[in-house]
Structure 1
Amino acid sequence: MREDGRVKPIVHSAATDRLDAVTLYRILRLRVDVFVVEQDCPYPELDGRDLEPATRQFWCADDAGEPIATARLLRDDMPGGWEYRVGRLATAPSARGTGVTTGLMEAVLAEIGERPSVLDAQSHLTGMYQRFGYAIDGPEFIEDGIPHTPMRRG
Structure 2
Amino acid sequence: MSESGFDPGLTDASHAGVFFVTDEDLDALAAASRDAGLLARRIDLSGCDGKSALLLRMATILDFPDSSGRNWDALSDSLRDLEWLPAPGYVLLFEQAHDLRERNEADFDTLLDILDEASQAWASDDTPFWAFIALPEEDFPDLQ
TM-score where L is the length of structure 2? 0.29
Q: Which has the higher strand share?
A: 1
Structure of higher CA gyration radius: 1
TM-score where L is the length of structure 1? 0.28
Structure with larger RCO (C-alpha < 8 A, sep 6+): 2
Q: Which has the higher helix share?
A: 2
